[in-house]
Structure 1
Amino acid sequence: MGNANYCLSCGMELETREIGGTPRRACPGCSFVHWGDYSIGVGALVMREGKLLLVRRAQEPGKGYWTNPGGYAEQLERIDETVRREVLEETGVDAVVTSLAAVRDQPRAIHNLYVAFSMEYVGGEPVPDGVEVDAAGFFGLDEMETMTVAPFTRWLVDVAIRGKSEGLLRDAEPIVPLEGYGLFRR
């Protein structure tokens, strides 16, 4: 139900009431309803010459594990722009989104949705940022066998290398102009 105590619209103390069969924090003074706490993570699957871009985490959670680059969506940034920025910040590699490759849904106290994108390598050599990650590089399956790759990342590696679908492709020219939207379709 979340820990919201005060209305984000008018500041009045929230009450708990049943809305749609679920107890929710709602404002008795206006129409505000706290629907829950959510986070959106994004991840990059950048391939170059049959190898996948991985980073070694320098911070918790997952310190010391190899993962694909990524981060969390910013409020006013499209997630395909977020993942491009995160790859560039963490590794110095420029890559552009081509398709949506995988989604992980993880309901918990802060419900997490993670969106992994297939990305086309544009340029740059992997150099760790020295803050979030302390190592970066392109690795093949044989090299990954001796690396401490995080379990979820192992699943994403399989999606990137052995995936049977191109995923949902980025729709750069939708049939109607939809400024500011990130659109992906089959």
Structure 2
Amino acid sequence: MENINFCLACGDKLEVREIGGEDRKACPSCSFVHWGNYSVGVGACVVKDNKILLVRRAQEPGKGYWTTPGGYIEQFEQIRGTIAREVWEETGVRAIVTRIIGLRDRPHSVHDIYITFEMEYIDGVPKPDGVEVDGAGFYSLEEMESMNVADLTAWQVDLALNGGTAGLEEDKTPIRESLKKYGLYRIK
């Protein structure tokens, strides 16, 4: 059971109750239930001239590995904004989301979801930010063979270059007006 003992809503001491078939920490005074710890990360496969934009991580986790640009979403930021921002911050390249091409689901002490986006290159010359990354550029599969490419990144590159045309695309015209405020992705 997770190391959370007090309600994040009202501060009362949490108790363990069966909710939804699982033992969960819940507040006896209000409706708060601690459902678990989750993180949602995003990675970008930006393709230009049959090469993929990669960065070399300057910090842990993954220091020294070449990866796709990416990061974790902010609480009030839609994921398409997160990934465009991360690519720009880490490399100085502007790109826009075209579709979702992969998803990694890693249940762990913090349940980690990582969404891989294919992005259309707009402009910019890759330059590392010097903080999170110390290398950036577009690389071919042949060049990547001699690089320290992270396993997940190798999978992402395969999706981007060999994954076909299917994938989830942003739904810019949802069937209901009220849905336009969300980030919706659908098969086409």
Superposition TM-score, scaled by structure 2 size: 0.96
1:89 aligns with 2:89: yes
Structure 1 residue aligned with 2:109: 109
1:152 aligns with 2:152: yes
Q: Give the deviation of 1:172 after TM superposition.
A: 1.3
Structure 2: 5+ residue runs without aligned partners?
none
- Cα shift readout 1:35-77 (whole Å, capped 9, x = no counterpart): 0000000000100011000000000111110000000011000
Q: Provide the rounded CA distance (Å) in 2 between the counterparts of 1:181 and 1:123.
A: 27
Structure 2 residue aligned with 1:170: 170
Greater shift after overlay, 11-20 or 83-92? 11-20
Structure 1 residue aligned with 2:185: 184
Tell me the secondary structure at the aligned position of residue 61 of structure 2: coil
- The CA RMSD over aligned residues, in Å, is 0.9
Give the counterpart letter for 1:15 in structure 2.
E
- Cα shift readout 1:122-181 (whole Å, capped 9, x = no counterpart): 110100000000000000101101111001111111101111233111111212222321
1:73 aligns with 2:73: yes
Assess if the C-alpha contact under 8 Å between 2:173 and 2:180 holds in 1. no
Q: Give the deviation of 1:2 after TM superposition.
A: 2.2
Q: Give the deviation of 1:31 after TM superposition.
A: 1.1
State the aligned residue count: 186
Q: Provide the rounded CA distance (Å) in 1 between the counterparts of 2:40 and 2:182.
A: 16
Q: Provide the rounded CA distance (Å) in 1 between the counterparts of 2:181 and 2:66.
A: 33
Q: Provide the rounded CA distance (Å) in 2 between the counterparts of 1:122 and 1:107.
A: 35
Structure 2 residue aligned with 1:28: 28
Assess if the C-alpha contact under 8 Å between 2:25 and 2:33 holds in 1. yes
Q: Provide the rounded CA distance (Å) in 1 between the counterparts of 2:27 and 2:124.
A: 50
Q: Give the deviation of 1:17 after TM superposition.
A: 1.3
What are the within-5 Å matches in structure 2 for residues 6-25 of structure 1?
6-25=6-25
Superposition TM-score, scaled by structure 1 size: 0.97
What stretches of structure 1 move > 6 A for 4+ residues in a row?
A: none
Q: Provide the rounded CA distance (Å) in 2 between the counterparts of 1:32 and 1:60.
A: 33
Identity %: 60
Structure 2 residue aligned with 1:134: 134
